[in-house]
Chains A and B, each alone.
Chain A
Amino acid sequence: MELTAADILFYLFGFVSVVSALMVVFVSNPIYSALLLAVVMSILGIFFFNLEAHFIAAAQVVVYAGAVMVLFVMVMMLFDLKREKEEVARFSILTVLKIISVGVVCGVLVGAGAMITGDGMGFIKVSTTEAPPPPSMLLKSDINAPTKQTTNPEELKDEVVEITQNPQAGVEIFTKYTDTQKLSLKLFSKYIFIFELLSVLLLVAIVGAVALARSKGGTHHVTRGS
């Protein structure tokens, strides 16, 4: 279990993403911070690909890096922020307090992350006298077991059965499916209600954005009847 090539690349990309995330916050020109955020999102796409979430990786790059950040960059270019390049709020006592509080939040999060896998990852001395805390309920199987087939066969079969109403077909379909098809199988059987709600959410966002643009001060102001 020593250092493999995959681990080296993980540490490399992890370092690059943390550095560019820091630069997103601290760089003065907003357009550079938008481009750096697009870099962070593409690197997250690569991480998703390694975590065997192939479709989510492509969706992440298409939606976030390819659409949301393009909107940010375009809006910033339209604002022509030559004057806007103001500095980060400089060292008032409030800023120091904020940084300390964020440090504490980060420490708590990292600690929680380490604790959840039971062995404290060497950071936190888990007193070996009493048994290390069992992996919490939300993780059904042992964390560090070599990853079995991506999707727990028994667990998903009931979804397939639920949608196909006959158990035999469920198993047959389930075995020959790729990750993305299993994902969509679950999306369209168990989470169908949320899927329909999302289309309403998108409609609300469309109407909201267009109404905002057509409002009195907006860019696409349309006088009645013209």
Chain B
Amino acid sequence: MSEQLVPVLVLTAVVIVFAAAMIGLTFLAGPKRKPTPEKQLPYECGIVGKEHETTRFPVKFYLTAILFILFDIEVIFLYPWALVYGDLLKFGPFILVEIIVFMLVLTFGLFYVWKARALEWD
């Protein structure tokens, strides 16, 4: 394991031990009461919920997740470019032209998403 990563792994171990200890403590220290049926129902501010079989959820959320992936890759490609842009500018606008083409294409993508009202929340 490279030298920089070991502290992160140690911190993960510390966090897991802390979380397990606390939940264990609650399990030991907490009062043990017989779970009454009312308490077991999902909490709906006192109203007994009509739980039909498949709760219909608005499926619209998946489109945001899809667009998130595609724009996240654009951001990931910008990071290495950002590190090198300053130094390579000394050698001509070549590095500038590359990113202008890349960003134009993807800004058109964002513009299409905006105009196609794909992100509309009624």
Touch test A–B (CB under 8 Å): yes
Q: Which residues does A use to contact B, with CB under 8 Å?
A: 5-6, 9-10, 46, 49-50, 52, 55, 59, 62-63, 66-68, 70-71, 74-75, 77-78, 80, 82-83, 163-166, 169, 173, 180-181, 183-185, 187-188, 192, 195-196, 198-200, 202-203, 205-207, 209-211, 213-214, 219-220, 222
Which residues of chain A are near B63, meaning CB under 8 Å? 209-210, 213, 219-220
A169 CB to nearest B CB, Å? 7
B86 CB to nearest A CB, Å? 11
Contact status of A70 and B95, CB under 8 A, knowing A63-B73, A214-B118, A220-B60? no
| Chain B stretch 8-65: residues in CB contact (< 8 A) with chain A | 9, 53-55, 57-63, 65
Q: Which residues does B use to contact A, with CB under 8 Å?
A: 1-2, 4-5, 9, 53-55, 57-63, 65-70, 72-74, 76-77, 79-81, 83-84, 87-88, 90-92, 94-95, 98, 101-102, 105-106, 108-109, 112-113, 116-118, 120
B49 CB to nearest A CB, Å? 15
A219 CB to nearest B CB, Å? 5
Alpha-carbon distance A207/B95, docked complex (angstroms) = 27
**Known contacts A52-B2, A67-B72, A206-B113; 18 further A-B pairs (Cβ under 8 A):** A5-B1, A6-B1, A6-B2, A55-B79, A59-B79, A67-B65, A71-B65, A80-B55, A165-B91, A166-B91, A187-B80, A188-B81, A188-B84, A196-B98, A203-B105, A209-B63, A210-B67, A210-B116
4 shortest A-B CB distances, which residue pairs?
A184-B80, A71-B65, A199-B105, A206-B109
* 6 sample A-B contacts, Cβ–Cβ < 8 Å, listed by A number: A9-B1, A163-B94, A199-B102, A202-B106, A203-B108, A206-B113
Asked if A185 and B84 make an inter-chain contact with CB atoms under 8 angstroms apart, the answer reads yes
Which residues of chain A are near B55, meaning CB under 8 Å? 80
Asked if B60 and A74 make an inter-chain contact with CB atoms under 8 angstroms apart, the answer reads no
B72 touches which of A62, A78, A183, A203 (Cβ 8 Å): A62
Which residues of chain A are near B65, meaning CB under 8 Å? 67, 70-71, 74-75
Alpha-carbon distance A31/B65, docked complex (angstroms) = 16
B105 touches which of A166, A188, A200, A219 (Cβ 8 Å): A200
Asked if B70 and A74 make an inter-chain contact with CB atoms under 8 angstroms apart, the answer reads no
Determine the residue in chain A with the shortest Cβ distance to B64: A74
Asked if B118 and A71 make an inter-chain contact with CB atoms under 8 angstroms apart, the answer reads no
Determine the residue in chain A with the shortest Cβ distance to B69: A67
Asked if B84 and A184 make an inter-chain contact with CB atoms under 8 angstroms apart, the answer reads yes
Determine the residue in chain B with the shortest Cβ distance to A70: B65
Asked if B5 and A46 make an inter-chain contact with CB atoms under 8 angstroms apart, the answer reads yes
